[in-house]
Structure 1
Amino acid sequence: MQAVAFDAIGARYCEAFPAKHGQLAAGHRLLSELPPGAPVLDIGCGAGDPTLRQLVEGGLAVTAIDLSDGMLSLARRRAPGATAYHRMDLYDLATPRAETAWGLPELGPAGAGRFAGAAAFFSLILLPQQEIRVALRRIRTLLRPGGLLALGLVEADLDDYPLRFLGQEIRISGFLREELTEVLRQAGFTVEALSGRPYAPACTTLPPEEQLFLHCRRAG
């Protein structure tokens, strides 16, 4: 179970990825287009640094979700002031399971159109490619018409690929940028900006990667 792996990894995740200029820039763009107090969903908030803290300090009303209890505990300490912190599987967003399994009806079908924006930085990569497609459609459901999505993924043609990371086995997926743009279009988003940034993790067991940051808008 990936959540168990991230419970074990904990704060070491931030140590492996200390420089997050691309993610901060993507968060800044989200802040620049949303009014203070706008409701935003941080999907897979991790330890809360930098995005959750950035959005909270920027005046947005942020609901943070993550499946790892350990990560949520760090997020509460590092980024206090969010509207809510919830443990749930992001794949259950906008489905009845949000209420029946997690006790969160506001993140199920009843929450359709609830959020002005959402951020998902390197959380969707933990799903198989087909589940990423489904998850994007479910995120769209929770956004208002014209709602924004700030997205971060790794550019790679990988589907549920096993990887050893900080002593734990995780499974990751990715798309090449042209396919990712089409995946987002099919999920009901318009990609307004896309930037790629080479990144060398501060962990010698991981190869350099190309990180993709996308600024998307719900179409329709």
Structure 2
Amino acid sequence: MGDRYSEVFPAKAGQLACGEWLLRELEPGARVLDIGCGTGDPTIRQLGAGGLRVTGVDLSDGMLQLARRTAPEAAAYHRMDMYDLFTPRAERAWGAPELGPQGAGGFAAATAFFSLILLPQGEISIVLGRVRQLLRPGGLLALGMVEADLDHASLPFLGHEIRISGYLREELHQTLSRAGYTVEAASGHPYAPASTTLPPEEQLFVCCRRTD
């Protein structure tokens, strides 16, 4: 699905605005973890061009190949399951010790744009807590989610069945608070995916800070 993903989701205004927030808040050379980096466009391209050091993580070899072509010099890339972040499996199974317990506090910020929606809600909460451990005190999190009351629901997407989770806005804020984040800004963007049978959706973009 990687080759067609950008066709389906061409509008990136909310994601780019989150990237601008990170560029304003972070010092040059700060390390950022992009969870589910996909094709690398626009986040890795934007943050790399702004002088940040990005580490991109994705489970899809196809997506990582596209990301390496999109932004070859902007990031280090790792193939791994985001559920294994901040666990011993980061090193043992994926060869990325800096993304396991050894990497505690090593990142100034993390991004996760429409990657956590692929997990059940219970696993989303776990991953948010693990990402928090990888962030330095006061570290930032920029998050893109779908506003919907869904928990690992099956939906058709580009000729495949995928499972999607979402939250209503207040519920998402509560989930982030329980995981150890303070929401600093949030916005909603109505959006109709192009070239798919998926219905129009409300995209949520949230800018958070690690609560210490």
Give TM-score, length-normalised by structure 1.
Answer: 0.95
In angstroms, what is the RMSD of aligned CA positions?
0.7
Match of 1:107 in 2: 99
**Deviations 1:182-216, CA, capped at 9 Å, x for gaps:** 00000000000010110111124111000000000
For 1:81 and 1:215, locate their aligned partners in 2 and report how far apart those are by CA, in whole Å: 26
CA deviation digits over 1:143-200, x for unaligned, max 9? 0010000000000010001111011111110110101000000000000001011011
From 66, 77, 89, the counterpart of 1:85: 77
Paired residues in the alignment total 212
Is residue 190 of structure 1 aligned with residue 175 of structure 2?
A: no
Of 154, 159, 168 in structure 2, the residue corresponding to residue 167 of structure 1 is: 159
Task: Tell me the secondary structure at the aligned position of residue 27 of structure 2.
Answer: coil
Please give the per-residue CA displacement for 1:119-156, whole angstroms capped at 9, x wherever unaligned: 10000000000000000000000000100000000000
Structure 2 residue 5 is the aligned partner of structure 1 residue 18: no
Q: Residue type of the partner of 1:157?
A: D
Deviating runs (4+, > 2 A) in structure 1? none
Tell me the SS of whatever aligns to 2:144.
strand
Corresponding residue number in structure 2 for 1:58: 50
Shift of 1:82: 2.8
* Structure 2 counterpart of 1:138: 130
Identity %: 73
Inter-partner Cα distance in structure 2 for 1:11 and 1:49? 12
Question: TM-score normalized by structure 2?
Answer: 0.98
Question: 1:5 — aligned with what?
Answer: none
CA distance in 2, matches of 1:81, 1:119: 19
Task: Tell me, yes or no, if the aligned pair for 1:53 and 1:80 is still in contact at 8 Å.
Answer: no
Worse-matched range after superposition: 119-128 or 199-208:
199-208
Amino acid corresponding to residue 116 of structure 1 in structure 2: A
Q: Distance in 2 between matches of 1:10 and 1:65?
A: 15
Give 3-state SS (helix, strand or coil) of 2:64's partner.
helix
**2:207 paired with 1:215:** yes
Conservation of the 8 A alpha-carbon contact between 2:139 and 2:209: yes
Unaligned runs of 5+ in 2: none
Runs (5+) with no aligned partner, structure 1: 1-8
